[in-house]
Every structure is written in C-alpha cells, then in structure tokens.
Amino acid sequence: MSGSQVSFALIGPGRAGRSLLGALHGSDWQCQKTYGREDNVAMAAQDVDVLILAVPDGAIAGVANSVVPAPNTAVLHLSGAKTLDVLAPHARPGSVHPLVSLPNPVTGAARLVDNAAFAVAGDPVGRSLVETLGGRWFVVDDEQRALYHATAAIASNHLVALCAQVYRLAERLQIPPDLYAELMAKTLENVRRVGPVEALTGPAARGDLATVNDHTEALSELDEHEVALYSLFAAEATRLGERARRAEPASDGQDRWPSG
C-alpha cells in the first residue's frame, strides 16, 4: 500500500498514539477519527483501511474484542511484547512496535521519522506504515517477543534508572549533572564503535578491586539502595573486565604497576 492513500482510525491518543499521529501528519496515511478511553469503539474498524490500537498492553485484547470486525480492515497494535493472539477476532491482525523512546508526542513524532527501526508482524500493511515513516523494519518470532521487549526495556528504562542514580549522586556532590551526561554520551559512542567489552574503562577494566571497594564504602555512608545498585553493576563490569583482559592481555605494562 506504499505510495497510495490509506485511511485509518486510532484508539488511544496517548503518548505513543499522538507521536504516531504527528509522524504521519501530511503523509498518505489519513486519520479519520481518534477514540479515547471513554469513547464507544464498537464501530471503529468500519469504513477505514487500518485501525491502530495504541493502548497499554494489558488493554489490547479487551479493546480488540470491543471492536466489531470488518473483514477488509487491518488491525494493528503497537506492543513489543504481545503477539497477534490478542487481536484474534480480526481477520487481518498485525503489529508495529517502534524501537524508539517516545518521551512526549512532539519528540516522539520527530523520532518516528528519523530512520527509526520497527518490529513488525502479521498483515503487510504494517510494513507499509513503516515505509511511509521512512523507517526500517525487522521481524521477531512470536516465541521471542517477550525477550525482545525485555531487551528494549533494559536498553531504555534501565538506562534511565542508571542515569537517575548518577544525577542523584551528582546533586549530592553539587556537580552539574550535565557533566556526567556528557561522559555517558561519549561512553555510549564508544560502545557503538567498539562494543561493550572494549569500551569498558576504569577500575573494573583494570581489575582494581581495591578502588571498587572504596567506592562501595563511600556509597554506604549515603544510602543502602545506592550501594545495592552500584554493587550490581560493578559486579557485571568486573566480569566484562576479566573477559577483556583474557582476550587482550596488556602489552605496555600499564596494568602491572605494583599496588600500594
């Protein structure tokens, strides 16, 4: 359907739904109607080519069952974790999950048209939607959907949680958090360029457990929660460091200074 006009309706004009509406504005995909939480959605699939369900994962099956099926209408959900089973009443089920962080509708709309990546399944109209947005699509097998979405949550939500710890500690030190944000951005660049093992630096990369212990003691004076978070990630960083040292032993002697 790429290159031809597509009429669609959308249920769920929340953050994801409004991001998609903004991204599609001015394209060949024309929104006929949006439905909110209090609206009757029974006839939402009638007289449109596509119905998009931009509702929370737990609500998809209930909403889909509330919509009277239209045999020629494709019904898409935006979930990364759910399979097509939740759209069982409909003849043309599909899914399109943007592998993109959508913090608000304005930023979200811009990111959805910035060569974004999408996991697609089911009806090929989902791929047409991605092509309209100028994005890239890939397929995730049903049995891998939960793992795929867990990986996305780690990449986005867990990263935000880690950043929150950095910001809390920066505020205690009265150091501008932006300085640490710059460090994090450069580190992510390193990960993309050489991978996580080679990108690792600091005491974990050197096998400097004494410094790691010093960090733990300093954090223990603040909050047990901060210690628990640090210890979890320090243990994983230490394992990465051990892997890196086994793969590429130091050749310049910089890691062979005697310890104090």
Question: Where among 86, 110, 140 does a domain terminate?
Answer: 140
Q: What local confidence, expressed as pLDDT, does residue 260 receive?
A: 43
pTM: 0.85
Q: What is the mean pLDDT of residues 127-148?
A: 96
Instruction: Identify whether residues 59 and 172 lie together within a single domain.
Output: no
- 221: CATH: 1.10.1040.20
Q: Residue 257 pLDDT > 50, yes or no?
A: no
* Both structure tokens of 150: 């867990």
Question: Where among 140, 175, 190 does a domain terminate?
Answer: 140
- Structural domain containing residue 159: 146-247
Helix axes of 15-24 and 105-112: crossing angle, nearest 10 degrees: 50
Q: What local confidence, expressed as pLDDT, does residue 191 receive?
A: 96
3-state secondary structure of 10: strand
**CB contact set of 23 (below 8 Å; sequence gap of 6+):** 108, 109, 110, 112, 113, 133
Q: What local confidence, expressed as pLDDT, does residue 18 receive?
A: 98
Residues 48-104 pLDDT 10s: 999 999 999 999 999 999 999 999 999 999 999 999 999 999 999 999 999 999 999
Instruction: Identify whether residues 16 and 49 lie together within a single domain.
Output: yes
Q: Is residue 253 part of a domain?
A: no
Q: What are phi and psi of 94, to 5 degrees?
A: -160, 170
Q: What is the mean pLDDT of residues 219-246?
A: 92
- For β-strands 92-98 and 117-122, DSSP reports them as antiparallel
Question: Where among 88, 115, 140 does a domain terminate?
Answer: 140
User: Predicted confidence band at 249 (pLDDT cuts at 50, 70, 90)?
Assistant: low
User: Predicted confidence band at 205 (pLDDT cuts at 50, 70, 90)?
Assistant: confident
Distance CA 164, CA 143 (A): 33
Instruction: Identify whether residues 101 and 217 lie together within a single domain.
Output: no
